């Protein structure tokens, strides 16, 4: 897992429209990199929609929102269109970025163990360093928590 004030690993990933994004593209801006398990599932949809609903305010604060999951670009496109998400959601199908940030982890559900994305967000400062790590995210209140931290 990443540590506070550590340099955030750069990456190049495609968004729901096939456009490439890298962390380096956003140098000089605050970035919220939020990792979520799966497109169009209840918790992930709630989280994405709270960021959507607060998007204008986040933009005024100078914060860039980037979602990341292991779903493919086609899945992201369907998810983004269905919920009118105004920010990039990035496809990490090979899970290299998830591994670099330490969010590809062993999980348990109903007694079954499997590997998956631990819902985690990273607030990255203008210099590209980790300013805050959000673990065990509450999908309903996460966007508000981020707004408080960015102000």
Q: Annotated catalytic, 44?
A: yes
Contact by Cβ (8 Å): 44, 12: no
| 31 membership: H or E segment, kind and range | strand 30-35
Instruction: Quote the CA–CA distance of 148 and 151 in Å, as a whole number.
Output: 6
Instruction: Quote the CA–CA distance of 24 and 116 in Å, as a whole number.
Output: 26
Point out which residues pair with 129 in neighbouring strands: 7
Neighbours of 88 (CB within 10 A): 21
Point out which residues pair with 116 in neighbouring strands: 105
Q: From the candidates 31, 33, 44, 63, give the one annotated as an active-site residue.
A: 44
Q: CA nearest 34: which of 146, 115, 144, 125?
A: 146
Query: Catalytic residue numbers?
Result: 44
């Amino acid at each position: 897992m990443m540590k506070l004030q550590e340099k955030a690993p750069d990456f190049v990933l495609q968004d729901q429209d096939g456009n490439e994004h890298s962390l380096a593209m956003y140098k000089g801006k605050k970035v919220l990199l939020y990792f979520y398990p799966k497109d169009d599932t209840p918790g992930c949809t709630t989280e994405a929609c709270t960021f959507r609903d607060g998007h204008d305010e986040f933009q005024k604060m100078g914060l860039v929102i980037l979602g990341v999951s292991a779903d493919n670009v086609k899945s992201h496109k369907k998810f983004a269109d269905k919920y009118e998400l105004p920010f990039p959601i990035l496809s990490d199908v090979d899970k290299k970025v998830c591994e670099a940030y330490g969010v590809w982890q062993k999980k348990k559900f109903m007694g079954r163990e499997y590997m998956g994305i631990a819902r985690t967000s990273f607030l990255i400062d203008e210099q590209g360093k980790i300013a805050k790590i959000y673990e065990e995210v509450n999908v309903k209140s996460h966007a508000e928590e981020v707004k408080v931290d960015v102000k």
